Structure 1
Amino acid sequence: MSEMSARRRRRVAALLAALPLAAACASPPPPVPPPGEQARAISLPFDRYNFTPADLSVIERAEDLLVGDCMRSRGLAWETLPPSAEEDLEPPNRRRYGVVEPEVARRYGYHVAPDRPSVARRSAAGESRTASLSEQQRRAAYDERGGCLPRARARIGQGAPKVDSALFNQLITRTFEQSRREAEVVRVFRAWSACMRAEGWRYDDPLSAVADQRWLDGGPATEEEIRAARADERCKARTGLVAVWAAAERRLQEDAVRAHREAFEALKAAKDRQLETARTIIAAAR
C-alpha cells in the first residue's frame, strides 16, 4: 500500500471518529416557549373551585416536605424534589378550546408542548427517586396504613370540609358540552370551519381538528399537522372563536354555581383551607 493511500485512510478514519463529537456539539433544541398570553387569558368561573396546576404544585411541594420529615424520623432517606417555577406551570385552561397559541402551533402542531425547564427537572427527579427507592422505603412512604404520604395528605386536609367532587366533575363535563350547542357558539364554529376550508382543511369544529387520527400516531408533529394547527389558530383569531365560546361557557358555569351554591361554597372552603395549610408548611421549611 502506498504512503499516499495510508495517509488518506488515516484522514477518513479521523473524520469518522470525529462525527459523534460533531453531533454532540450540535446546537441544542430551542427552549420550550412559556405559555402564551392567549392561553393565560382564558378564565372561567369554575377555576375558583378547582385546583389549578399552580395550586397542585403548592400542595405537592408541601406533601413532599412532610414526607421527608416523616421518613427521616423513621431513619430512612428521602430526597425532596426541586420546586417548579410558577412561570413554568400550565395555565388551567390552556388546551380547553384546542390550540390557541401561535408559537405552540408553529413548533408542535396539535401536540402538547413539552414541559418547561423547572417542571421537566422536577418530573425527572421524581422518576429517578422512585426508581431508586428500596422496598422498605416504598412501604414507609406509600403504605395506605400509616405510610408517610397518606399521613401528609391527611395533615394537609385537616380541618377542610369533606366534599364530594362527583357533582363538580359532572358539571364540568355537562356545561362544556352544553356550551358547544349554544347558538352563538354554533355560529362561530361555522365561521371557523369556513375559514379553515379557505385554508385547505375540512373540519366542523376545533375539537374535530385536534382529534384527527393523522395527528394521533404518537410521533412528533409532521409538517402537515403544523400547517393545520397554524391555520386553526389563525382562524380562531380571525373569527373571535375563543372569546365567544368562553363567554358561553362562562354563563353556563355561573348558572351552575348559583344552582348548587352550597356545594360550590364547600369546594371553595376545602380548596382554600388545604392551600393555606400547604403554604404554612412550605414557609416553615424555609
Structure 2
Amino acid sequence: MRKALPLALTGLFALSACQFAATDDSADEARRLNTMTALPLHAYLPDPASDGAKAVIRAQWTLGKKCMVGLGFTGFAALDTKAFDSTYPVRQGTLTDGDMPGDDSPYGVVDPDLASEHGYHNRQPDVSAQPQEWPADQYAALTGTFESGDSHLAHGHRIPEGGCLGQATRKIYGPPPRATKVNGVKLSGYYSLAMQLWYESHKTASNGPAWKKADRAWSDCMKKKGFRYSDPDKASVDSDWFGHEKPTDKERKTAAADARCKLDTGYVPAVHDLEARTQNTVIGRNKEKLEAMRTADERAVRKARTIIGEAS
C-alpha cells in the first residue's frame, strides 16, 4: 500500500503547480498583448494578406506594366503581373535588413526561451511580400527612386513622380495626402495619418509617469541579473548586436534576461494598457479623418478590381 506524501511536500507541490500556472498565464498574456493587432489603431491599417490588399497590388502592377512599356521597356509587355503581386521592388545589389536585430512586436522579446536562442534577431519573414530585385534603370523607372548619377529619363521619356508604380497608386487611390514628418521620417502614404497617430500616441504614453515606473521596475530587475539598461528599447538597440550574422552569447543572455524581467514585472500588460488607452483617445479626436481614410481604401479596392477585370 502506497504511503501518502508528507503534508509539507504536498503543499510544496501544490504551490509549485500554482507558480507554474501563474507563469504560463503571464507569458500567454504577454504574447497576446505584444502584437500590433492588439492595439486599437491597427484597425485603420490595411491587412496585406487580405483579398482587397492583394487586388490593389495586382492593379498597381497591371498599370505599372503598361507604364513601363510606354517608357521603352518593351520586355515588360510579356510580364506576368501575377508573379509579382507578392513582391516589392528593390534595387539590384541592395542589402536587405534580414540579419538586423529587431522584430515586429511593439514591446520586444517576451519569450525567454526564444530570446536565449535568437537574441534580439527575431524579425519574422514577411509572408505577404518578398523583395524582388530589379536592374538599376528598371528600379528607378518602377519606383521613381534615384541614386546619385541616375537619369530621370528612361529611353528619352521622363519617369513619372514615384515611378510607374507610384503613378499607378495615384490612379487607384487618387491624390496622396499631404506629407508629414514623424521622428525625422517623411510619411506620404495613404495610411500616413494612422501611422502618425500611432507614433504620437506611443510618444505620449511612453513619456508618462506610469510608463516610466514600468521601465524602472524592468531596469531594476535587469540590474539584479547583471545588465544595466534604463528601458527595454535601450537593450534591444545596443550597438553590440549589430554587424553579426548570428547573435552573440552576450546578446542571447541579455535578451533572455530582458524577456524574463518583462514577465516578472508585468511590463507588457502595464505598458499595453497605457498605449491602448492613449490610442483610443487619439482615435476619438480623429474619428472623422480615420473613417474617411477607411472609406477611401474601400473605394480604392473597388477601383483596383475594376482595373484587373478590364485587363483580363
Q: Report the TM range for the smaller structure's normalisation.
A: 0.5 to 0.7
| Contact preservation (8 Å) 2:68, 2:141 | no
Structure 1 residues 199-208 or 267-276, which shifts more? 267-276
In 1, Cα distance between equivalents of 2:259 and 2:46: 27
In 2, Cα distance between equivalents of 1:178 and 1:147: 36
- Structure number with higher strand proportion: 2
Structure 2: gaps (5+ residues): 1-30, 88-102, 143-152, 181-191
Confirm or deny that 1:156 pairs with 2:168.
Answer: no
- Structure number with higher helix proportion: 1
| Contact preservation (8 Å) 2:108, 2:232 | yes
User: Which of 58, 61, 65 does residue 64 from structure 1 map onto?
Assistant: 61
The number of residues matched between the two structures is: 237
User: Which of 277, 284, 289 does residue 263 from structure 1 map onto?
Assistant: 289
Q: 1:185 to 1:131 in 2, by over 3 A?
A: same
| 2:75 counterpart residue number | 77
In 2, Cα distance between equivalents of 1:223 and 1:281: 53
**1:207 deviation in Å?**
0.8
User: Which of 229, 245, 251 does residue 225 from structure 1 map onto?
Assistant: 251
In 1, Cα distance between equivalents of 2:110 and 2:296: 32
User: Which of 134, 139, 154 does residue 139 from structure 1 map onto?
Assistant: 154
Q: 1:240 to 1:136 in 2, by over 3 A?
A: closer
The CA deviation string for residues 118-176 of structure 1, in whole angstroms up to 9 with x for no partner, is 74xx31xx21x335849999838981179642441122114xx8644638354333211
Q: 1:84 to 1:189 in 2, by over 3 A?
A: same
Confirm or deny that 1:252 pairs with 2:282.
Answer: no
| 2:98 counterpart residue number | none
| Contact preservation (8 Å) 2:32, 2:38 | no
Which one-letter code corresponds to 1:110 in the other structure?
Answer: Y
In 1, Cα distance between equivalents of 2:222 and 2:162: 56
| 1:238 counterpart residue number | 264
In 2, Cα distance between equivalents of 1:142 and 1:42: 41
**How does the TM-score come out when normalised to structure 1?**
0.64
Structure 1: gaps (5+ residues): 1-35, 86-92
Q: Percent identity?
A: 30
**1:83 deviation in Å?**
4.4
Q: 1:131 to 1:165 in 2, by over 3 A?
A: closer
Q: 1:51 to 1:249 in 2, by over 3 A?
A: same
| Contact preservation (8 Å) 1:195, 1:235 | yes
The CA deviation string for residues 180-228 of structure 1, in whole angstroms up to 9 with x for no partner, is 1333322322222222223221212111111222223455321110111
The CA deviation string for residues 53-80 of structure 1, in whole angstroms up to 9 with x for no partner, is 5479634343123323554687822343
Which one-letter code corresponds to 1:48 in the other structure?
Answer: A
Which one-letter code corresponds to 2:226 in the other structure?
Answer: G
Structure 1 residues 203-212 or 141-150, which shifts more? 141-150
**1:260 deviation in Å?**
2.6
**How does the TM-score come out when normalised to structure 2?**
0.60
| 2:104 counterpart residue number | 94
